[in-house]
Amino acid sequence: MKARERKRQAVVARYAEKRGALKAAGDYAGLQRLPKNASPVRLHNRCKLTGRPRGYMRQFGLSRVTFREMALSGLIPGVKKCSW
């Protein structure tokens, strides 16, 4: 899944300028001819370690499960266990 997501990011970067130009011109037929994965909407935020797409915390780049495991083992400084 992580490799597929990297591929999508590359396609989005490749077509970003072209998408912008077509949108500015109002050429929606031209936008439809672009690959589906060229749209940035199709990207998912994924955990950097596990690739989990749900429960993603942007500030850390981790899923909630990975964050909790790392916090409990003391790998994330400044995080204390309150009650979870």
The C-alpha atoms of residue 22 and residue 73 are separated, in whole angstroms, by 50
pLDDT at site 80: 79
Q: What is the CATH number of domain 45-84?
A: 4.10.830.10
66-83: pLDDT as tens digits: 999 999 888 988 887 776
Mean pLDDT of the chain: 91
Residue ranges per structural domain of the chain:
1-43, 45-84
19-28: pLDDT as tens digits: 999 999 999 9
Of 29-38, 52-61, 74-83, the least confident: 74-83
